Structure 1
């Protein structure tokens, strides 16, 4: 019987118009994905959300890309006591209630409310989510965002995303409070100043650091070299200068990608330094290298994607390419 259905995924399926209220009869649903990820027809909308409260077993809900301007989605989800994952990205939301009359979202661990035209304030009801693992939201005040989240998710938060938010200000030292943070996505903002030394405190957790396309300035702190779990370091398209040396990579053993394009960083590694990582992607366009082909790059055995135009003119580059091809 279809009423016993537990999993329903209509993500990017080619249906249009109103989301049918008959979905409310699927009372055993645990996973519901109705999302639309393309900025083109067919468009979907909801004019009645009362049916959602019937899905009391629902754990995963994704309505990203659906027009929700005519309904009160947040009051509807307060009745979903088993809900763990909520995606409401790009839903044309104009506001998020600061308080809700009744909240029973004990298990909520992931919330995505990005790409909506709403206030930058984190709602009070969200601050009670002590199991929050992933937050992808809207903010224009990074310091307040970090303070608010640290009050409820200091030990649980693993993924923090606030890219494309027109954020100004400096990266706060308070980021170090999230001791289990694995991903920080802060690209495409107006962040300025230096990367804080406290970033090194995330040495045992941080894997992905995306700070591209901001206004970050040099120097890059040697503390980034403490990030032993780091896989991707993206500082591209920032007005960075100064030096980076092997100290900036001292404890990195899992690094796979370095992005430093469109910066004026001088890469000055010791001639006898051999990195403990093998890269898959290197983008260092406009960085200062040479005049010899760097010894540390010779240690890279992967046929990685390399973008650093100056390398073409460095002594020894041709020999390195020949060794890779054999």
Structure 2
């Protein structure tokens, strides 16, 4: 028997799990992926790395800023740039009116998740296939890749809302409130396609920009010189992200390589970098749930059920990584009230981490 099972090892799930674990609850985190972080994703390839999910952090609120400051003190984050250029079809590339520091992890954005995961009991590569109540009035969580079943007093689901709905809909109105299921079904996401490319270090002069955001483009959403985040990179690495509409058109393609090539050729043309579409290597990743397009307006989504169940994530509040952190904190508070109402730590406990 575990006090709390958290499904999802992204920012929200890890923050929630840490709060509850530090308060004294027994917590197990389960994630279907082989690595931590969710959208804080880094891929190791060709003796280097590429951040193909969240590109950087741009803190706004006090709590998230304090976490970013701590990660800087631990040499996990550092300022990358204060200028993300903008591209419009009318004006081309131009400097933005407002500048603010963007923080990146030289070891890859997944290093943030690894820091947040310290001392937690985490089961990776474990897909949850079913959730059911037990006769003893607890939650039973069935895992696909093993015959093991987890039993918990409370459940936190920290994954994209459509995935949460697939797990919870079979429970029906007899266990979950119909309004809760309806609210969960209202949340929608934009998809994205990320292309990671590598080039010989000395083949071409690199552009003087580090990142460009495409304001109104039909194909592209963002491009970044990812290798500029690394202290030492053996080659030039770019990450190109599609627009939501382009990703939607090609989301179900069985082979994404031609789609990646199309994006690169297009970027090479409009940015006047003809060598960009002939990389030494290229990998393409599909993000089905990249950015919340219709978020849930509150920090968490509670199920009005006999058994405690809370949904959280970057889709609660809709403010990406910062919203995910606040949602994770909110989920821990709700679960704590359901259970023993122990004293939750403040965010300063992360200062004890190495």
TM over 0.5: no
Larger Rg: 1
TM range (shorter): under 0.3
Q: Please, what TM-score do these two structures have when normalized by structure 2?
A: 0.21
Bigger share in strand: 2
Compare relative contact order (CA 8 Å, sep 6+) and give the higher one, 1 or 2.
2
Bigger share in helix: 2
